[in-house]
Amino acid sequence: MSTDIPSRLKVLWFIPTHGDSRYLGTSEGGRAVDLAYLTQIAKAADSIGYYGALLPTGRSCEDSWVIASALAPLTERLRFLVAVRPGLQSPTLAARMTATLDRISGGRLLINVVTGGDPQENKGDGIFLSHDERYEVTREFLDIYKAVLRGETVEFSGKHFQIEDGRLLFAPHQRPHPPLYFGGSSQAANAVAAEQIDKYLTWGEPPADVAAKLAHIRELAAKAGRNVTFGIRLHVIVRETSQEAWADAERLISRLDDHTIAQAQQVFSRMDSVGQARMSRLHGGRRDRLEISPNLWAGVGLVRGGAGTALVGDPATVAERIDEYRRIGIDTFIFSGYPHLEEAYRFGELVLPLLPLDHDIASRTTSVNMGPFGETVAGDHRPSALRASQS
């Protein structure tokens, strides 16, 4: 099956509602998850020109809907990728929440359909379903949720939901509904993606593995008479030189000890997520084999669940690695980096101008304050740029 190579890319950032730090796996260098700091990151992403921002979901995070509702009025263009949780939410209630936030944000809502998760955490939320049962719930949930958002009155009798007179009084801003994003690596997840979802998300595996995964989803979607587009979730460590980038990658995990890594890997092993198992297999909990593909580093996944890989390098190298994924069909990239405020600027200034984006980014040639910068030399002279012949 042929691969449609996108010509333009959407690049999103990440709002770390579970916390932020200069070092993984330790409280050293940690930052409080408060609205003031999250606002700084959201406003930075908005002003730099990121297409949107992902808000994570789960017990370790502040509620994504509440945070997105707080940040939307403080930003202008930034879209918010917020999770609906089949099994935790009624589909009609989720539809009302979606329509409301989409309207009050002026159509800046994106929906992340999250089915998986830690079974232990699920039990804490009252969910005792098996892996495949959760995807049965998701299929029914989406049938109802999408129909209600389209303006239909829903009568539904299924295995998991019974709905009578399900409808909205106030429609969403985006029609028929905000775009639906979804990730999952199991066969049950792939079937839902092919039949129901607008954009399929994968975590950052080596390009050949991602290409195989995308080809499978394309085939399933074609059989269902549908077309699905693709996105990828990655961390990034970009510096002006590759040496600096790799040094900062090592610094990020420099406070980790073997006990902390083992504890994290034990938690991951109890999960029934195929995607998490694939992430964990990339490094096996070992520090000595973390570059799993050129410039693709699995160090984040030693202690972080979910997305556990980062692109590491200088701007041109990182841009080329992004283009590798574009050439296999990825059109949407969701990045993050530690700390998220500083890395949003680094990536935005060093890499975004090198990418073929379908959204505007901040101009690098003009500024409200035209200088002098540098700092000012002796109070009244601008510093001179190095001449090419001097470099």
Q: Sorting pLDDT into bands at 50, 70 and 90, what band is 271?
A: confident
Residue 351 falls within a domain, yes or no? Answer: yes
The pair of three-digit structure tokens given for residue 235, joined into one six-digit string? 């961390």
pLDDT of residue 22: 94
Residue 381 falls within a domain, yes or no? Answer: yes
The whole-chain average pLDDT of the chain stands at 90
Type of residue numbered 301: G
pLDDT of residue 389: 45
Determine the straight-line distance between the first and last CA of the chain, rounded to whole angstroms.
Answer: 49
Q: Sorting pLDDT into bands at 50, 70 and 90, what band is 283?
A: confident
Residue 45 falls within a domain, yes or no? Answer: yes
Distances in whole angstroms, Cα of residue 335 to Cα of each of 31, 203, 280, 302, 389:
19, 11, 19, 18, 37
> Is 236:311 a contact under the CB 8 Å cutoff?
yes
The CATH code of the domain that includes 35 is: 3.20.20.30
Q: Which pLDDT tens digit goes with each residue over 284-304?
A: 767 778 998 999 999 898 888
Residue 333 falls within a domain, yes or no? Answer: yes
pLDDT of residue 380: 62
Across 63-92, average pLDDT: 97
Gap between the Cα atoms of 387 and 391, Å rounded: 7
Gap between the Cα atoms of 378 and 22, Å rounded: 35
Residue 220 falls within a domain, yes or no? Answer: yes
Across 7-17, average pLDDT: 97
Residue 224 falls within a domain, yes or no? Answer: yes
Half-sphere exposure at residue 384, Cβ-oriented, CA atoms within 13 angstroms: 4
pLDDT of residue 388: 47
Residue 5 falls within a domain, yes or no? Answer: no
Q: What is the pTM of this model?
A: 0.91
Partner residues linked to 80 by β-bridges:
53, 109
Type of residue numbered 320: E
Which residue carries 């600096």 as its tokens? 244
Q: Is the dihedral of CA 225, 332, 302, 315 positive or negative?
A: positive
Which residue carries 């495949």 as its tokens? 132
Least confident of 44-58, 142-156, 367-381: 367-381
| Radius of gyration from C-alpha coordinates of the chain | 22
Q: Which structural domain range is residue 98 located in?
A: 10-390
Q: Which pLDDT tens digit goes with each residue over 171-200?
A: 999 999 999 999 988 999 999 999 999 999
The pair of three-digit structure tokens given for residue 48, joined into one six-digit string? 């730099």
Number of domains in the chain: 1
Across 271-289, average pLDDT: 75
